[in-house]
């Protein structure tokens, strides 16, 4: 009899251990833990390499996006539609931040509690604030928190997906479509590396979003009880300048990582999609960050244009002749420079050229805001010269045509001189 009890006890223990292991695995479907020493070795290995040449990546798609200029610095299959896994939660968070009150308390539904994958482990009936759910969403990458937030804001997962797609359309993300708030695999749930970078750029304009994704560790409250969670972003607080944003993993999407990094006041966003391992996505992200900061610089295009225009105006403004005009006083100005700053490879500033063309002769009258000339900004490449922007030169005042009275006065003045 006692032998049977021992056997039963052992079976129960094995079941509990197996269950515990399965829970850990479910919890870590998105992110397995990486030893700090391994990550440090990866950083040292990658940053010690030469970053003059373009990076060679293992990830299926990637992009480096400059926030200051809104330019893509570097890309690999950047417009290819791909599964995005939990990087989806960047959009989820933005919809919530724009439509919900952070102090609202959410009661967790059975559907939210039973959501699989990476979870915060909230249970049916649990009460948790929107703010703490957002931390669980973006730090712990909880799929259960994603559903709880979606139901609170959109009424249902489907209703929330409609809001996500409306926002994508508003932002001009034509290669992006959402089905869920968490990003578990679905054929109709996809984005591109470039559009994910643009979405992240938009999200980082929200101070609360930027604050949350830059949080390494925090204690939240579930049912009034404290719970400490740690950010899944392996580069946050480890690689110089990294201040967000979001990790991701599913079988279809592979390993994904969106990273924000700021150095010397300049901020870039890197996106890697479809890496086979976490180590690869970490290496690829570091390569992109180090490559971008080592090889590119920002130039103040607006300052260059205004300086060139003032120099040109000093010489040429009085050279424009207006036939039959009461006065020859044109007051010239230019349209706003749209690309106020641009990012280029270091040492290529001399390849930026500013060309000014103008019309030297007009027939009066010349109306206010008439186009007088054109500024063309170009960049010389190995094959040709590509146009960056064109800016109109216009006059800010009306120039009237001479009247009979004007001619009579001129004639009278002529005879008086005689």
Active site residue ranges: 86, 89, 141
Q: CA-CA distance, 91 to 93, in Å (whole number)?
A: 5
Pairing type for strands 361-363 and 321-323 reads parallel
Tokens encoding 29 = 């479907």
Instruction: Classify burial at 160, counting beta carbons within 10 Å of its beta carbon; exposed 0-12, middle 13-18, buried 19 or more.
Output: buried
Residues 69 and 341: beta-carbon distance below 8 Å: yes
The distance of Cα 346 from the centroid of its chain, to the nearest Å, equals 23
Residues 91 and 200: beta-carbon distance below 8 Å: no
Tokens encoding 205 = 């304009």
Q: CA-CA distance, 181 to 215, in Å (whole number)?
A: 21
Count how many Cα atoms sit within 13 Å of the Cα of residue 366 in the half-sphere of its side chain. Answer: 27
Tokens encoding 67 = 């926030």
Q: Phi then psi for 226, rounded to 5 degrees? A: -75, 145
**DSSP letter, residue 234:** T
Residues 64 and 73: beta-carbon distance below 8 Å: yes
Q: CA-CA distance, 4 to 167, in Å (whole number)?
A: 62
Residues 155 and 109: beta-carbon distance below 8 Å: no
Q: CA-CA distance, 87 to 247, in Å (whole number)?
A: 6
Q: In which residue are the tokens 């809001």 written?
A: 163
């Amino acid at each position: 009899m006692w032998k049977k009890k021992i056997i039963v006890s052992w079976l129960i223990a094995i079941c509990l251990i197996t269950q515990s292991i399965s829970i850990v695995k479910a919890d870590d479907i998105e992110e397995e833990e990486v030893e700090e020493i391994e990550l440090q070795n990866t950083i040292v290995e990658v940053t010690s390499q030469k970053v003059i040449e373009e990076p060679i990546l293992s990830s299926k798609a990637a992009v480096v996006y400059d926030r200051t200029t809104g330019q893509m610095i570097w890309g690999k299959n950047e417009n290819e539609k791909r599964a995005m896994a939990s990087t989806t939660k960047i959009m989820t968070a933005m919809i919530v931040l724009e439509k919900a009150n952070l102090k609202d308390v959410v009661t967790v539904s059975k559907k939210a509690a039973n959501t699989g994958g990476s979870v915060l482990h909230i249970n049916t009936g649990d009460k948790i604030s929107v703010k703490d759910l957002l931390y669980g969403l973006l730090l712990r990458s909880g799929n259960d928190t994603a559903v709880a937030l979606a139901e609170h804001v959109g009424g249902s997962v489907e209703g929330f997906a409609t809001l996500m797609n409306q926002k994508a359309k508003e932002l001009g993300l034509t290669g992006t479509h959402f089905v869920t708030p968490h990003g578990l695999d679905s054929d109709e749930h996809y984005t591109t590396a470039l559009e994910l970078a643009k979405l992240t750029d938009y999200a980082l304009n929200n101070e609360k979003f930027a604050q949350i994704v830059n949080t390494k560790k925090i204690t939240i409250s579930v049912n009034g009880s404290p719970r400490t969670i740690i950010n899944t972003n392996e580069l946050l607080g480890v690689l110089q300048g990294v201040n967000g944003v979001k990790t991701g993993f599913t079988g279809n999407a592979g390993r994904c990582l969106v990273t924000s990094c700021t150095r010397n006041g300049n901020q870039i966003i890197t996106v890697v999609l479809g890496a086979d391992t976490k180590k690869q996505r970490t290496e690829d992200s570091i390569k992109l960050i180090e490559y971008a900061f080592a090889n590119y610089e920002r130039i103040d295009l607006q300052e260059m244009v205004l300086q060139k225009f003032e120099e040109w105006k000093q010489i040429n403004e009085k050279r424009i002749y207006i036939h039959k005009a009461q006065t020859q006083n044109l007051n010239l100005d230019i349209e706003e420079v749209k690309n106020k700053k641009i990012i280029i490879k270091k040492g290529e500033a001399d390849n930026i050229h500013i060309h000014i063309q103008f019309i030297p002769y007009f027939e009066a009258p010349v109306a206010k805001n008439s186009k007088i000339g054109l500024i063309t900004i170009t960049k010389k490449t190995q094959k040709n010269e590509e146009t960056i922007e064109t800016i109109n030169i216009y006059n800010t005042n009306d120039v009237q045509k001479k009247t009979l009275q004007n001619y009579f006065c001129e004639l009278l003045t002529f005879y008086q001189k005689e």
